[in-house]
Amino acid sequence: MTIPMQYGLLLAAILFCIGLAGVLVRRDVIFMLMSVEVMLNAAGLAFIVGGAARSSADGQVMFIFILAMAAAEVSVGLALIIQLYQKFKTLDADSASQLNG
């Protein structure tokens, strides 16, 4: 009846890497932000799996913190996207490269 812990962690790793690929490939900042959400969610999944393997609530506590962080990150990130769009009239992340040294 039990599923090996590895499988849960495997799923987390795969989701994380798909999200990473999304961040690296996409130029549209909205897509990048969504991919980051996937990565955060994958990290949260890994915590839950760890917590389940040890039958402790710590994993879930960590997930709640990740959730809070994700909420803050998304609100600021979306506000930044709006600013970016107002300034550059595009959502292309590569066009906002004024910080090049």
Site for another protein in 17-46 (CB under 8 A): 17-35, 37-38, 41, 45
Residue 95 CB, nearest distance to another protein (Å)? 9
Work out how close the CB of 66 gets to another protein at its nearest, in angstroms, rounded to a whole number: 10
Shortest distance in whole angstroms from residue 50 CB to another protein: 9
Tokens of 67: 């959730």
- Scanning residues 61 to 90, which ones bind another protein (CB under 8 A)? 61, 63-65, 67-76, 78-83, 85-86
Between vectors from CA 34 to CA 46 and to CA 14, what angle results, nearest 5°? 35
Minimum distance from CB of 41 to another protein (Å)?
A: 6
Q: What is the DSSP string of 41-73?
A: HHHHHHHHHHHHHHT-SHHHHHHHHHHHHHHHH
Select from 34, 41, 32, 33 the least CA-distant residue to 14.
41
Q: Diameter of the chain by CA atoms?
A: 57
